[in-house]
A and B are shown apart, each in its own frame.
Chain A
Amino acid sequence: DSGVTQTPKHLITATGQRVTLRCSPRSGDLSVYWYQQSLDQGLQFLIQYYNGEERAKGNILERFSAQQFPDLHSELNLSSLELGDSALYFCASSVGGGPGANVLTFGAGSRLTVL
């Protein structure tokens, strides 16, 4: 157990729907990162939050949004889902959020299947 908790583990939904993925970071970590891993691809950085504030954005679609709450858990909202959004979504956390905070602790991921 890495200490980073993601729910749900699996999710199957239809095109056009909206889903929310949840992440609780490791105790003491202030920074949360979201990554997407599509089939045979590396992990693609989506977005980072640090202590409730958005810190960095990667290749996140406009249909996707995220937030980090005062208790530091984070949610990734995916809307108007398309078949291509089917992927593993990982949450990771780190203590800091700036340069040098390179070692991440990952959760087990949420596998999203869009039919």
Chain B
Amino acid sequence: DQQVKQNSPSLSVQEGRISILNCDYTNSMFDYFLWYKKYPAEGPTFLISISSIKDKNEDGRFTVFLNKSAKHLSLHIVPSQPGDSAVYFCAATPAWGGAQKLVFGQGTRLTINP
């Protein structure tokens, strides 16, 4: 049972354009969501998070949107840069859960073309 799904295994975007990565979840107990970015031969690194009391969180070029009713979140990267090429994982947990309750999606490989 895949509680967190990233339905697009890969995404290709032109440099300077917007990249939109999507994530769906099924467990209504999830109320804290994170995005991690992973480069080859490195571990995932934390990118941005959002609590269910918000519907948007921004950090520079990165914005995460949360639609609780649709159980959907998305990560927007504007403008996309070549260094953004990586695998992006979304993850979710109940607020009381801690990291041991984090459930990760399968990841989306983002390629930014010059």
Q: Which residues of A contact B (CB under 8 A)?
A: 2, 4, 31, 33, 40-45, 48, 55-56, 58, 90, 92, 94, 97-109
Contacts and interface: CB of A to CB of B under 8 A. Distances in A.
Contact of A40 (B45, B96, B100, B106): B106
A102 B99 CA distance: 4
B41 A102 contact: no
B68 to A, nearest CB: 18
Interface magnitude class on chain B: 20 to 34
A6 to B, nearest CB: 8
13 contacts: A40-B106, A42-B106, A43-B89, A43-B91, A43-B104, A45-B100, A48-B99, A56-B98, A99-B96, A101-B98, A102-B32, A104-B46, A109-B43
Interface of B: 4, 9, 32, 34, 36, 41-46, 49, 89, 91, 93, 95-100, 102-107
A103 B34 contact: yes
A98 B112 CA distance: 37
Contacts of B45: 2, 105-106
A107 B42 CA distance: 7
Nearest to A93: B99
Nearest to A107: B43
